[in-house]
Structure 1
Amino acid sequence: MSPPLQPLFAQRVARLRTHMAETGLDAWLVFAPEHLRYLFNYSGEAACGLIGTRGSWLVTDYRFIEQAEEECMHHEWRRGVATELLCRDRQRERLGQVLRRLLADIGAARLGYEAGHVSVAQWTEISADLHDFDLLPATDFLVQARRVKDAWEQQQMRQAAALADAALEALRPDIRLGQSERQMATRLEQLLQSLGSEGLSFPTILGFGPRSALPHSAPSDRPLQRGDLVVLDFGAVVNGYRSDMTRSHVAGPALPWQQRMYDTVSRAQQAALALLKPGISGSVLSEASSSVLAASEFAAHAGPGLGHGVGLVLHEQPFMNSGCASVLRAGEVVTVEPGLYIRGQGGVRIEDDALLLDTGHEILSRAHRDFELPL
């Protein structure tokens, strides 16, 4: 794993500290795995982070301390970030007791915590130990900060998309009639990891025939039959950053209605992509795409929503639908994925990752779009 350069981490922490000062916080308690990765480069489990006005701490236990030392203390960026690692003895000291000691040492009184990323049971125990501190649910500052990817993050996402492209291309010779959804998904996942993906961006979505109309179809033992519509949605991971791509096919020659369905979804995607640039809102993009679907013979089968942001989390802001007033900015990566789903017959979805540039966008997922599989 290759972490970003030290200045990038220092800049992220500095921006958070500026926000803390503006909102009157002395410290910020981090629980979200994506924020532990974003601020500390930590990819393990059972940890929380604390950002103070001058220092930062990562608290974990014996199972992950060596991993934390490797990831969080990288010699190229350790200086200036001042992360101290604490190995908590879970048998003798509660997490709240560790935090209480740290907060007392740095003279903190007002603590922001990620309320959406800690269980009620865990926070009840922690807050009991911190009863005399001012505990405030944190804002979504880090969620919003992660939306715009820096140059290093953009490169990770290009690589993740390229790995997914390569895996799909390698899968093509293995696709055959009689193969089950589960067999095809397993083979694709093997290819992803053999090509260098850290794992799966999310559990592979794959449906044949009528099951392709399930937007999030989990692979089953259903075999591929001639004439089936096929929807395949998957992604790779590079340094924690994810890709997300969907391709739709038909097993053999397409029937006229299947081809019209595919062409409709393709036009809907292109209508949104033609407008995709900084300064446009998610609702405008969603309307451009949905208007194409609504004007088609398949209007009753259109899936709502157009896409979402992607990065360290598969589904992150902005969520592009009719109610999305959020304006896109250069550096964001979003999916554009209109779909049609006819219950009992099949579905079609086409999805690509797009990076917002200063004057337009760059499509990151470049895998083939052949509709008909030569089976």
Structure 2
Amino acid sequence: MKAIFLQRQQQLLSQLTERQLDGLLILGHENIQYITGFTGNAAYAIITPKHQFLITDYRYFERAKNECQGFEVVSRDRDNESLGACIGRHLFDVKALGFDAAFINVSAWHGIESELGNREIQAVTGLIERQRMVKDDWEIKQTQLAAAIADQALAETMGYFKAGVTERDVALELEYRLQKLGSQGMAFSTIMLFAERTSLPHGNPGEQQLHEGDFITLDFGAVINGYRSDMTRSYILGAANDEQKAIYDTVSAAQQAAVSVLKPGVNGHDVYLASQAVLQSSAYAQWAGEGLGHGVGLFLHEQPILGPKTDYCLEPGNIITIEPGIYIPGLGGVRVEDDYLITKSGCQVLTHAPKPFEI
């Protein structure tokens, strides 16, 4: 594992050199985990060609020393030293400093910057996130494990879809099984919706009861070592009517159209267009969702984003979702989502839960 983190650090340092920066102050917790290995949420990392420091406090000091790879761990005395002063005294010969601008508010940054002395400061966004777009073998393994847990948890929950249960009832059962199987919390707040509420692309489980003939939409994921899976299934309790079947078949065909073109070198925009061609030629075009998918990893939604403005050619190691949907207010909606790994020759699906429309 240490070699993986050292490789990531060297890759980041090369990018800093290209930007003529002497160092980077990393503020995003997920970015810190990716570069250092530290999984806590109270830390600040400094990386330069000569020095690497992770600043935390007494609560995380021992944990950081055990987890960090290639970084010296510093415990700040929060009562007697400000964060800006602590960062400043560990910058040494850094004259041009970049900082992880997307992960700090203006007020907090002004407090730090005021104590960094006469240095050139540059806001940096997306640098580590772009590096994270292509997953290494270890990251892929974590996502596969998270996806397998989600598959099993859903299989164990299917028997709870019965008339009279509430959205919240089934969501809690699913989340219990996810964690019982080893998920480290939820990948995100579970979406569990019944009947006409399935027209909400994202909605919170409530007290809506399930009845025969109702739409069901569930969107959920597991977490292993910070890496997330993301899967959506749509069902009907009992027998589906003709319109419900038509909606589901359209969404399923749109997903398959996108998957059929997934391979290295294909622009994400073209993947989006393949799915949209099915949706827009259907009777449900006006209710089609606007996006198609996104990268998934330490963030639930990370680059690359697949949509109408995508301009990124897929690479081996990308892990993305393909999740077309149709959402009709007052009637209901259908979304089908799976996680896909881009391989050297095409793609590999990571989420394997069956997709029976009628249950």
> TM-score of the superposition, structure 2-length normalised?
0.98
1:244 equivalent in structure 2: 230
CA distance, structure 2, for counterparts of residue 173 and residue 208 of structure 1: 16
Q: Does 1:136 align with 2:122?
A: yes
2:308 equivalent in structure 1: 322
CA distance, structure 1, for counterparts of residue 179 and residue 32 of structure 2: 24
CA distance, structure 2, for counterparts of residue 22 and residue 296 of structure 1: 48
Cα 1:184–1:141 shift into 2, 3 Å: same
Give deviations 1:344-366, integer Å, cap 9, x for gaps.
11000000000000110000000
For structure 1, list consecutive stretches of 5 or more residues without a partner in the other structure: 73-77
1:255 equivalent in structure 2: 241
**Aligned pairs for 1:241-320 within 5 A:** 241-320=227-306
1:102 equivalent in structure 2: 90
CA-CA distance at 1:155 after TM superposition = 0.8
CA-CA distance at 1:55 after TM superposition = 2.3
1:349 partner amino acid: R
Across the aligned residues of Structure 1 and Structure 2, the Cα RMSD in angstroms comes to 1.0
CA distance, structure 1, for counterparts of residue 172 and residue 66 of structure 2: 31
Q: Does 1:59 align with 2:55?
A: yes
1:187 equivalent in structure 2: 173
1:91 equivalent in structure 2: 79
Contact 2:161 2:237 in 1 (8 A): no
1:242 partner amino acid: R
CA distance, structure 2, for counterparts of residue 347 and residue 68 of structure 1: 45
CA distance, structure 2, for counterparts of residue 123 and residue 211 of structure 1: 41
3-state SS of paired residue (2:236): strand
Give deviations 1:121-148, integer Å, cap 9, x for gaps.
1101000001411111125221111000
1:75 equivalent in structure 2: none
1:132 partner amino acid: N
Partner residue of 1:15 out of 11, 16, 32: 11
Contact 2:101 2:125 in 1 (8 A): no
CA distance, structure 2, for counterparts of residue 288 and residue 43 of structure 1: 38
CA distance, structure 1, for counterparts of residue 50 and residue 154 of structure 2: 47
1:40 equivalent in structure 2: 36
Q: Does 1:368 align with 2:357?
A: no
* Percent identity of equivalent pairs: 43
3-state SS of paired residue (1:135): strand
1:210 partner amino acid: E
CA distance, structure 2, for counterparts of residue 186 and residue 332 of structure 1: 31
Contact 2:323 2:335 in 1 (8 A): yes
1:303 partner amino acid: G
2:334 equivalent in structure 1: 348
3-state SS of paired residue (1:43): coil
CA distance, structure 2, for counterparts of residue 35 and residue 313 of structure 1: 10
Give deviations 1:255-276, integer Å, cap 9, x for gaps.
1100111011000000000000
Q: Which moved more, 1:339-348 or 1:170-179?
A: 170-179
3-state SS of paired residue (2:24): strand
2:191 equivalent in structure 1: 205
For structure 2, list consecutive stretches of 5 or more residues without a partner in the other structure: none
Aligned residues between the structures: 359
Q: Does 1:337 align with 2:333?
A: no
CA-CA distance at 1:34 after TM superposition = 1.1
Contact 2:101 2:123 in 1 (8 A): yes
Q: Which moved more, 1:328-337 or 1:167-176?
A: 167-176
CA distance, structure 1, for counterparts of residue 147 and residue 79 of structure 2: 43
CA distance, structure 2, for counterparts of residue 139 and residue 147 of structure 1: 14
CA distance, structure 2, for counterparts of residue 284 and residue 17 of structure 1: 33
CA-CA distance at 1:69 after TM superposition = 2.3
1:92 partner amino acid: N
2:345 equivalent in structure 1: 359
CA-CA distance at 1:217 after TM superposition = 1.1
CA distance, structure 2, for counterparts of residue 254 and residue 340 of structure 1: 16
CA distance, structure 2, for counterparts of residue 132 and residue 141 of structure 1: 24
1:27 equivalent in structure 2: 23
3-state SS of paired residue (1:372): coil
CA distance, structure 1, for counterparts of residue 301 and residue 248 of structure 2: 25
Q: Does 1:124 align with 2:110?
A: yes
2:203 equivalent in structure 1: 217
CA distance, structure 2, for counterparts of residue 19 and residue 215 of structure 1: 38
3-state SS of paired residue (2:258): helix
CA-CA distance at 1:186 after TM superposition = 0.7
